[in-house]
């Protein structure tokens, strides 16, 4: 019998990607065929898809707009499918999403774990479209927890991944901060942590399954506080530094990549642990601004001296790591002097990459009504400066590794046509260079997704040469340059 088809679309953060992979695993285990490649306007219609899952983001208004566009696209491309919308946007604006179409079912982000029950609910039913939606919506509504309570936050965990070659492990969810611009804390609820013993068991399982690397994912890593029971049964609670120590002590081969750091968590204890050779030299620091007055209006739990200290300690531990950060441009009241301090901080810290966001006034947040607003043209100019800094800094960083041989994990293999057909392999080095390896179709030894290889960096890629996220041309180290 032909397998029922399910399609996933995932927007936003790494945590959403991990949770989508866990939900997809529940469907494949139940005998469904799962697709996770994004649909586009040119994708063919597929009347065999019985359900689509859209895992949404609410960081910016543009993220929500994109979610609505994808929902409407799936309704058109998959005419028999129920479209299940979950995630942060669904948690906060579920009624607006339900109104899009009778085939749309909404599952709030705090009850996203109920996606694991959907395969059994639709596996044996002949219902489809609006009828199936009504049945699922009734089930989802019963699952809704108390406000601010995440239901079974670590249920969507998996040690096999459909759309990612590098494994990820969710250890924390939610946030107790009160940042004035942030809607994620409203959507995901209060901070919860996976107990340390379960973290150890799961990372051991990934290592035993042959995974070369795990990405540790959280909403706010500084709020990790997990219960730990030692071999004698003595219980205590550990923060992230204590957890990282346990992860390193209880594994022997697997590499550990930390997805995001808050500046205030980086102290001498943590820096001594990240100096371990199995901790990847790549760190993303949540900074937001280089001005203390702006950070105060944002109600961030640190000031700029913590950013300088974090960068210094990470460089002392890892030498020349890939350092990325988030910056919000045009926050209400941000003056030219404030922005100049941000640019000064970026230059002095030597950040490799800047993820620049224009301020987006989010309903339900304190900053929504803050004044004075920065004019759009000023914000646009600041974002342009941030992006220009990021391009130049990343290019210089790549140039500094030309000729270097680095370990990498292969992620995707696809073909492209430039004069003649080529096979392009995308690989990520330990310091987060996204490498493009180019082969002829008949070449021996083309690495498959998930394979660990050694690559030699050749040069940065030009804009017209890039495939996907690739920014670096490389070759297998054995092949020479």
Asked if residue 81 has pLDDT above 50, the reply is yes
Residue 164 banded pLDDT, cuts 50, 70, 90:
low
Helix (H) / strand (E) element for 256: namely strand 255-258
Q: Residue 204: pLDDT band by 50, 70, 90 thresholds?
A: very high
Work out the angle at residue 361's Cα, subtended by the Cα atoms of residues 359 and 366, and round it to the nearest 5 degrees: 115
Reduce the DSSP state of residue 171 to 3 states and report it: coil
- Write the DSSP assignment of 18-83 as a string of letters: HHHHHHHHHHHHTT-EEE-SPP-TTSPP-TTEEEEEEEE--SSHHHHHHHHHHHHHHHHH-TT-EE
Stated as kind and residue range, the H or E segment containing 439 is: strand 434-439
* Burial degree of 432 (CB within 10 A; 0-12, 13-18, 19+): buried
| pLDDT at residue number 440 | 86
Measured in degrees and rounded to the nearest 5, phi and psi for residue 77 equal -80, -25
Is pLDDT of 263 > 70?
yes
Least confident of 175-179, 230-234, 374-378: 230-234
Q: For 215, list phi and psi in degrees, rounded to 5.
A: -100, 120
pLDDT the model gives residue 391: 95
Q: Provide the pLDDT for residue 479.
A: 47
Query: What is the pLDDT, as a whole number, of residue 296?
Result: 99
Could you tell me what percent of the chain has a pLDDT over 90? 82
- Tell me what the pLDDT averaged over the chain comes to: 93
Confidence of residue 196 (pLDDT cuts 50, 70, 90): very high
The pLDDT value recorded for residue 468 is 73
**Closest by alpha carbon to 346, among 378, 391, 299, 405?**
391
Helix axes 304-318, 336-349, angle to 10 degrees: 10
Q: How is residue 58 written in tokens? A: 């609410």
For the cut 90, the answer to whether the pLDDT of residue 290 exceeds it is yes
Which segment of 155-169, 250-264, 412-426 scores lowest on mean pLDDT? 412-426
Q: How high is the pLDDT of residue 478?
A: 67
Q: Are 286 and 325 in contact (CB under 8 A)?
A: yes
416 vs 45, residue with greater confidence: 45
| The overall pTM is greater than 0.85 | yes
Distances (CA, A) of 254 to 78, 97, 179, 215: 40, 41, 35, 10
Kindly state the average pLDDT of the residues 189-201.
Answer: 97
Is the pLDDT confidence value at 221 over 60? yes
pLDDT at 165: 67
For residue 457, is pLDDT > 70? Answer: yes
At 207, the pLDDT band (50, 70, 90 cuts) reads very high
Cis ω for the linkage preceding 372 (within 30 of 0): yes
Q: What is the mean pLDDT of residues 142-158?
A: 78
DSSP assignment letter at 324: E
pLDDT surpassing 60 at residue 380: yes
Q: What average pLDDT does this structure show over 456-479?
A: 85
Q: Residues 155-159: contacts with CB within 8 Å, 24+ apart?
A: 155/22, 155/113, 155/116, 156/18, 156/19, 156/21, 156/22, 156/23, 156/26, 156/112, 156/113, 156/115, 156/116, 157/22, 157/202, 158/21, 158/22, 158/24, 158/25, 159/202, 159/205, 159/206, 159/209, 159/211
């Amino acid at each position: 019998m032909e397998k029922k088809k399910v399609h996933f679309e995932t927007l936003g953060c790494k945590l959403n990607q991990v949770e989508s992979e866990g939900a997809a695993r529940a469907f494949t285990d139940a005998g469904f065929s799962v697709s996770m490649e994004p649909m586009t306007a040119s994708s063919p219609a597929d009347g065999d898809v019985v359900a689509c899952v859209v895992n949404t983001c609410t960081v910016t208004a543009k993220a929500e707009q994109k979610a609505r566009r994808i929902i409407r696209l799936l309704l058109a491309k998959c005419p028999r499918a129920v479209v299940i919308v979950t995630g942060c946007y669904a948690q906060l604006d579920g009624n607006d999403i339900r109104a899009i179409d009778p085939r749309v079912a909404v599952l709030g982000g705090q009850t996203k774990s109920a996606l694991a029950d959907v395969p059994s609910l639709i596996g044996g039913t002949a219902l489809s479209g609006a009828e199936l939606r009504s049945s699922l919506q009734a089930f989802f509504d019963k699952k809704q927890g108390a406000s601010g309570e995440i239901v079974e936050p670590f249920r969507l965990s998996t040690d096999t991944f459909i759309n990612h070659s590098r494994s990820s492990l969710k250890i924390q969810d939610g946030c107790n901060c009160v940042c004035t611009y942030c809607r994620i804390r409203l959507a995901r609820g209060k901070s919860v942590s996976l107990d340390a013993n379960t973290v150890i068991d799961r990372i051991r399982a990934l290592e035993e399954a042959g995974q070369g690397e795990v990405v540790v994912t959280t909403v706010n890593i500084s709020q990790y506080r997990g219960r730990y029971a030692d071999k004698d049964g003595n219980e205590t609670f550990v923060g992230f530094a204590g957890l990282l120590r346990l992860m390193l002590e209880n594994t022997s081969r697997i590499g550990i990549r930390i997805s995001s750091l808050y500046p205030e968590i980086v102290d001498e204890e943590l820096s001594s642990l990240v100096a371990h050779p199995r901790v990847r030299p790549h760190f993303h620091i949540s900074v937001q601004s280089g001005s203390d007055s702006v950070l105060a209006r944002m109600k961030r739990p640190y000031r700029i001296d913590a950013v300088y200290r974090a960068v210094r300690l990470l460089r002392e531990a890892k030498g020349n790591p890939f350092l990325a950060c988030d910056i919000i441009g045009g926050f209400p009241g941000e003056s030219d002097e404030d922005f100049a301090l941000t640019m000064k901080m970026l230059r002095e810290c030597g950040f490799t990459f800047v993820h620049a966001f224009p301020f987006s006034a989010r309903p339900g947040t304190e900053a929504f009504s803050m004044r004075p607003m920065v004019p759009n043209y000023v914000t646009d100019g600041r974002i342009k400066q941030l992006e220009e800094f990021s391009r130049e800094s990343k290019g210089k960083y790549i140039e500094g590794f030309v000729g270097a041989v680095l370990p990498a994990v292969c992620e995707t293999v696809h073909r492209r046509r430039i004069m003649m057909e080529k096979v392009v392999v995308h690989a990520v080095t330990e310091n987060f260079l996204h490498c493009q390896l180019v082969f002829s179709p008949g070449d021996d030894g083309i690495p498959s997704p998930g394979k660990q290889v050694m690559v030699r960096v050749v040069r940065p890629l030009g804009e017209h040469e890039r495939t996907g996220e690739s920014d670096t041309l490389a070759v297998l180290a054995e092949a020479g340059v």
